[in-house]
């Protein structure tokens, strides 16, 4: 897993440090990979009484990196040094205390509080070469500590893999935890900071993020049946999207936010259509007697993947947004549904029924290289990609009630994200936050 080089790229806002070459470099996925043993030390609290915040930051970073499947966090009870009584820079850290417990990498830093304002400095070190690889300074209110930790976890992932991590983002989902109806909730990737977004005493379906991750599209039922609404996550305000003639369901914003792909239902038949931002019908992409549902945009906005029963059983198809030829990309499985296009553009995730339950698969956009991600009991449904295209979140009933899980693309590293009462379904992973 070790390579002989790593360039520490220090961007705007980074703590000043010379670019360094280290021993830590890895590929996050692949057969036989071993997780990096890493120590995540609590921050050094500059003021007495702030140790809980310092520990919380380290806990969130540890959780994120554990979810990545790349890092094995060394248990804190094995640490020899106290965070409050040890060095935090390369020239003051006793690296021997960390190498003796097997740490290849180490994070340390400081937390300073001024009223409700926090300043966090976090650093990543190569224990083998006893050098700092990266450092970041974050400032914000105490309520922003979780996001600071997520951003630092992303930076650690960037140093270890060459790609930014996915943790400075959000997951929207549906849950009955607040009552008998499915309402929309939003949470951090680690399962923390869960917020209820809708409380409208009706059925809500199919949440999907706006490109700026500030709002959602959701199908909600009212007195006149289902309709498409936009939801501002901050204010929780719902605004009905003006509808083209017919029923518009399962809305998905285009990557540039200029159009909405919908399941367009008229005269009892469902097709895929493109709407303008104002809800007016721009074009119908399909016009077929079969049921066409669940549109998903390619990252460049040129194509749409969708589910169709035109060949008999539901399968996954792709068509051009300009109205080109429809092509089938799944052939195995009697019921394939819920396509979701990877942000990298190379694969589509979907759910396929095997026996009496669903499992998560991915396939190349030309229909080759089908890979099964889940093989658990219960049903695994509604996959959604992380913004870096390296993970999937999905709903699974493997433990009884529906919960959200995250998996890497090998399927070897899967972790439960939600718990408690109610069923959690239909996850949607946002882009990175601004």
Q: pLDDT by residue (tens digit) across 45-55?
A: 998 889 999 99
With a CB cutoff of 8 Å and minimum separation 6, the contacts of 270 are: 249, 263, 264, 291, 292, 293
According to DSSP, residue 313 is labeled S
* 181-197 pLDDT per residue, tens: 999 999 999 999 999 99
The yes-or-no verdict on residue 433 having pLDDT over 70 is yes
pLDDT attached to residue 226: 85
Buried b (16+ CB within 10 A) or exposed e, 70-99: bbebbeeeebebebeebebebeebebebbe
Express as a percent the part of the chain with pLDDT over 90.
Answer: 75
pLDDT attached to residue 231: 95
pLDDT attached to residue 11: 27
Architecture of domain 36-161: 3-Layer(aba) Sandwich (3.40)
The yes-or-no verdict on residue 264 having pLDDT over 90 is no
The yes-or-no verdict on residue 18 having pLDDT over 90 is no
Express as a percent the part of the chain with pLDDT over 70.
Answer: 91
* 54-78 pLDDT per residue, tens: 999 999 999 999 999 999 999 999 9
The yes-or-no verdict on residue 214 having pLDDT over 80 is yes
User: By C-alpha distance, which of 109, 132, 100 is closest to 40?
Assistant: 109
CB distance 383 to 336 below 8 Å? no
With a CB cutoff of 8 Å and minimum separation 6, the contacts of 235 are: none
Q: Could you give the strand order of the β-sheet that contains 281-284, starting from the edge strand earlier in sequence?
A: 247-253, 259-266, 269-276, 281-284
- Superfamily covering domain 170-429: TolB, C-terminal domain (2.120.10.30)
Residue extents of the structural domains in the chain: 36-161, 170-429
pLDDT attached to residue 163: 96
The yes-or-no verdict on residue 320 having pLDDT over 80 is yes
Query: Is 170-429 the same fold as 36-161?
Result: no
With a CB cutoff of 8 Å and minimum separation 6, the contacts of 67 are: 167, 189, 190, 406, 415
pLDDT attached to residue 93: 95
Buried b (16+ CB within 10 A) or exposed e, 329-362: bbeebeebbbbbbbbeeebbbbbbbbeebbbbbb
Q: Looking at mean pLDDT, say which of 198-202, 242-246, 282-286, 359-363 comes out highest.
A: 359-363
Provide mean pLDDT across the span 233-247. Answer: 83
According to DSSP, residue 142 is labeled G
CA distance 417 to 377: 17
User: By C-alpha distance, which of 178, 161, 146 is closest to 70?
Assistant: 161
Calculate the alpha carbon distances from 123 to 16, 61, 107, 145 in Å: 11, 12, 5, 16
Calculate the alpha carbon distances from 90 to 93, 123, 332 in Å: 6, 10, 55
Consecutive H or E run containing 108: strand 105-114
pLDDT attached to residue 243: 72
Angle between helix 51-68 and 145-161 (nearest 10):
40
């Amino acid at each position: 897993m070790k390579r002989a080089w790593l360039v520490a790229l220090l961007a705007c806002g980074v703590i000043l440090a010379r670019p360094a070459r280290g021993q830590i470099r890895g590929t996050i996925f692949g057969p036989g990979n071993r997780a990096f043993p890493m120590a995540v030390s609590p921050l050094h609290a500059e003021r007495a009484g702030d140790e809980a915040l310092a520990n919380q930051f380290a806990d969130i970073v540890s959780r994120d990196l554990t979810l990545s499947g790349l890092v094995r966090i060394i248990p804190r009870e094995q640490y020899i040094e106290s965070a409050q009584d040890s060095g935090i820079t390369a020239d003051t850290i006793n690296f021997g205390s960390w190498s003796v417990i097997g740490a290849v990498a180490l994070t340390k830093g400081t937390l300073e509080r001024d009223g409700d304002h926090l300043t966090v400095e976090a650093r990543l070190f190569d224990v083998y070469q006893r050098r700092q690889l990266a450092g970041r300074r974050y400032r914000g209110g105490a309520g922003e500590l979780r996001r600071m930790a997520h951003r630092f976890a992303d930076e650690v992932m960037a140093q270890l893999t060459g790609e930014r991590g996915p943790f400075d983002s959000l997951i929207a989902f549906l849950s009955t935890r607040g009552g008998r109806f499915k309402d929309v909730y939003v949470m951090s990737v680690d399962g923390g900071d869960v917020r209820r977004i809708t409380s409208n005493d009706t059925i809500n379906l199919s949440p999907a993020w706006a490109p700026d991750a500030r709002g959602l599209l959701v199908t909600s039922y009212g007195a006149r049946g289902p309709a498409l609404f936009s939801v501002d996550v901050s204010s929780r305000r719902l605004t009905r999207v003006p509808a083209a003639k017919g029923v518009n369901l399962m809305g998905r914003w285009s990557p540039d936010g200029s159009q909405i792909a919908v399941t367009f239902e008229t005269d009892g038949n469902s097709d895929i259509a493109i709407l303008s931002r104002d809800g007016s019908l721009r074009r119908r992409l399909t016009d077929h007697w079969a049921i066409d549902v669940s549109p998903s945009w390619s990252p460049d906005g040129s194509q749409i993947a969708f589910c169709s029963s035109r060949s008999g059983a539901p399968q996954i198809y792709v068509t051009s947004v300009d109205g080109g030829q429809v092509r089938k990309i799944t052939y195995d499985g009697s019921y394939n549904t819920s396509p979701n296009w990877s942000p990298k553009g190379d694969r589509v995730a979907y759910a396929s029924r095997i026996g009496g339950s669903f499992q998560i698969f991915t396939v190349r956009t030309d229909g080759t290289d089908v890979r099964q991600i889940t093989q658990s009991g219960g049903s695994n449904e509604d996959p959604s990609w992380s913004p870096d295209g390296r993970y999937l979140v999905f709903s699974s009933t493997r433990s009884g009630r529906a919960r959200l899980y995250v998996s890497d693309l090998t399927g070897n590293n899967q972790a439960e994200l939600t718990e408690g009462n109610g069923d959690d379904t239909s996850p949607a992973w946002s882009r990175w936050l601004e």
